[in-house]
Amino acid sequence: MNGLLTGALYALIGMGLALIFGVMRIVNFAHGAFLMVGMYATWLLFDLLKINPYIGFVPAGIFLFGFGQLIYLLLIHPLRNRSHFMQILMTAGIGLILVDAAQLIFHADYRQTNLDLVNRNLHLGPFTANAAEVLSFGIAVALVVGLHFYVTRSLTGQALRAIAQNPEVAPLMGINVGRIQGFSFALGTALAGVAGGLLLPRLYLFPSVGEDFTTKAFVMVVLGGMGSMEGAALGGLVLGLAENFTSLYVGNQWALVVDFVLFLVVLSVKPSGIFGRQRA
Amino acid sequence: MRAFFVTFLNMLKSWKSWVFVAVTVALFLVPGFVDNNYLVQVLFRIALFAALGLAWNIVGGYAGQLSLGHVAFFGVGAYGYALFSELPSMSKWLALLLAALVSVAMAALIGSIAFRLRGPYFTLATIAFAEVLRLVATNLAVTGGAIGLTVTSLFTGRSFWRSFYFAAVTLAVVTFLVNVWVSRSRFGYYLMAIREDEETAGAVGIDTTSCKLQSLLISAFFTALGGALYASAFQFMIPDSILNIDISIQIAIVTMLGGAGTLLGPVVGAMLLLAASEAFKNQFKESHLLIYGILIVGVVLFLPEGIVGGLRRLLQGGKKGKAKPSVNAPVSIPSAPAGGVA
């Protein structure tokens, strides 16, 4: 049950990363850092303006969208024809800058939002669930479903998928690849930020809080098949459940180990992912 | 082995080798003029990271495989040394060697899985392996868990940092010679062919998997020695410091900044990066990695071949007629971390 609740948030993070990878073929090592920025943005809104994080995640997401667009234009777009090697280094560099800038601005102090909601439990038949977690689960599921329809139905969504399928032919069909890529990078960033905002009430906030999520997002995306957003969403759910069962039956400290073992097994047995299509 | 010495002897004919000998001698004389433990410690770390960068260069530079999991070999070297040196009647130097060999075995395991993957998948797999090691070290009793281990120091006495400096310089010099050999040997040319185009390299009969794996084994050996040296100098370690992915990134950045796939690149990179991070340490306190981030972004945007690579291109551009066609002319091959063959 808890695994499912966490899984939906993971799905959001994983979809953002999958979107960026699918459309741009860039492995975004700054994803966790974007999530951290989203958390700080939501926290600032809470701290200064007393805006509830469950509302604050919206402006935080919008801010992250603009932020992602800016980073794309300044730092990612110039590298569009460079090797994976350089692109990976660039995103790793962006991640380092963001984490250490947060360190510089907010210091390493642990921060927390105290919401009543977090201490309230809901009883659903045989299950007991935390009210805050149920709420963020609902929002995350709505976003994941909405995103799915957006990508499959809307014109922009079709352009996104066209680029993901064939970046050479897409521009011949009249798609502005640069603009769409910028849009998807910004959207992926915003998704990480939103997930950060939704995670805020349940986690302590500190500058390197996102690091685990970068690696987790990779696990989900690899599980679901690189570049497949539906796969990443499923990967998120699988990961949430796997972690939950591990901490329940083996021990909390091994939950992360299971992530990576899962990751390595899938990578070495079926690199295209459990749900992924085979790619040449 | 014979090839190694032949290349080495051939080197003695050129003026470059005499510069090399002179610089090496000078490096060993430096502590004689520096009477400041802090400074010697900084020099130790520069030499150590030069060695680590040179070791990484074999895989990341010449073979063009972006490993961000080198901290695994570093950490296994450190933990291996710490645990072996605790055994009764074990010499410290033997412990050092054993730790490096364990790390090579680990590299064989990691490489045999990770090298089945390419590009970003390979990088992700190396990270995952390193993270698994960190988590395992955090959770096992043998490794002291999250509390960590105290480590027997290789050297003791008044000239503590001086001895470590000498050890690190020796390691850097040896690793440099291995790089020289790689850059001139058939094996090295195979690696560079793989970097430029793995399919073509395979098509002309190079056993790409085996070559990549060998380069990783060599690299892991020296990285582990560096890790053991590091742990024994600071005498205390916890998984979060000694197996932190930041170390992988630092090693890669040292090399990329100076110029991946060049001989002098990692050395120049280590000097610049560590000096810069030392200089900014007081300003930024716990954010000293900020300077790394800024340097990465700057190098990727403006100096994709690194400092040494960029300089060489500048020089070669000046005498176009004479410049021999570089094996990896950076303009024509966008998929490679460009650099010269020194």
Could you read off the pLDDT of B270-299 as tens digits, one per residue? 998 888 888 777 776 666 678 778 888 888
> What value does the mean pLDDT take over residues A164-192?
82
Continuous segment of H or E residues that includes residue A275: none
pLDDT band at A48 (very low <50, low <70, confident <90, very high): confident
Say yes or no to pLDDT of A255 above 80: no
Residues A18, A31 contacting (CB under 8 angstroms)? no
Q: Give pLDDT, residue B328.
A: 44
* pLDDT mean across residues, chain B: 83
pLDDT at residue B111 greater than cutoff 80: yes
**Strand ranges in A79-161 using DSSP code E only, listed in sequence order:** 121-124, 127-130
What the block records as the tokens of A35 is 């999530």
> Using one digit for the tens of pLDDT, what is the confidence trace for B166-199?
999 999 999 999 999 999 899 999 999 998 888 8
Distances (CA, A) of A152 to A183, A274, B29, B211, B335: 16, 21, 68, 44, 32
* Cβ-Cβ contacts under 8 Å for B104 (sequence gap 6 or more): B217, B220, B221, B224
Counting the structural domains of chain A, the total is: 1
Q: What is the pLDDT of residue A227?
A: 65
* Alpha carbons B143 and B124: distance in angstroms, whole number: 25
| Cα separations in angstroms, B25 against A146, B29, B30, B60 | 67, 6, 9, 29
Helix (H) or strand (E) holding B150: strand B149-150
User: For residue B135, which residues of chain A lie inside 8 Å, CB to CB?
Assistant: 253-254, 256-257, 260
A99: which chain B residues are within 8 Å (Cβ-Cβ)? 289
Give contacts of B63 with chain A, Cβ < 8 Å.
none
Q: Is residue A71 part of a domain?
A: yes
From chain B, pick out residues whose CB is under 8 angstroms from the CB of A215.
127-128, 131
Gap from A93 CA to chain B (nearest CA, Å): 4
Give a yes or no: residue A45 inside a domain: yes
Phi, psi torsion values for B310, nearest 5 degrees: -65, -45
| Beta-carbon separation of A271 and B132 below 8 A | no
Residue A230 domain-assigned?
no
Does the beta-carbon distance from B128 to A264 stay under 8 Å?
yes
Percent of chain A with pLDDT over 90: 1
Residue span of the structural domain in which A67 resides: 2-210
Question: Hey, are the CB atoms on B293 and A261 less than 8 Å from each other?
Answer: no
Dist. CA A77–CA A209, nearest whole Å:
27
In a domain, A44, yes or no: yes
Classify A175 as helix, strand or coil. coil
Please tell me the number of Cα atoms within 13 Å of A245 on its side-chain side. 9
**Residue A85 lies inside a defined structural domain of this protein:** yes
At B56-110, the pLDDT tens digits run 999 998 998 889 899 999 999 999 999 998 888 778 889 999 999 999 999 999 9
Q: Which residue has the tokens 């790089």?
A: B179
- Is residue B336 pLDDT above 70, yes or no? no
- Strand A127-130 and strand B149-150: the pairing is unpaired
What are the DSSP E strand ranges found in A61-142?
A: 121-124, 127-130
Residue A245, in any domain of the structure: no
- The Cα B310–Cα B259 span in angstroms is 8
Measured in Å, how far apart are chain A's first and last C-alpha atoms? 38
pLDDT of residue B229: 93
The pLDDT score that the predictor gives to residue B331 is 39
**Is the pLDDT reported for residue A280 higher than 60?**
no
pLDDT tens per residue, range A194-223? 888 888 887 788 888 888 788 888 888 877
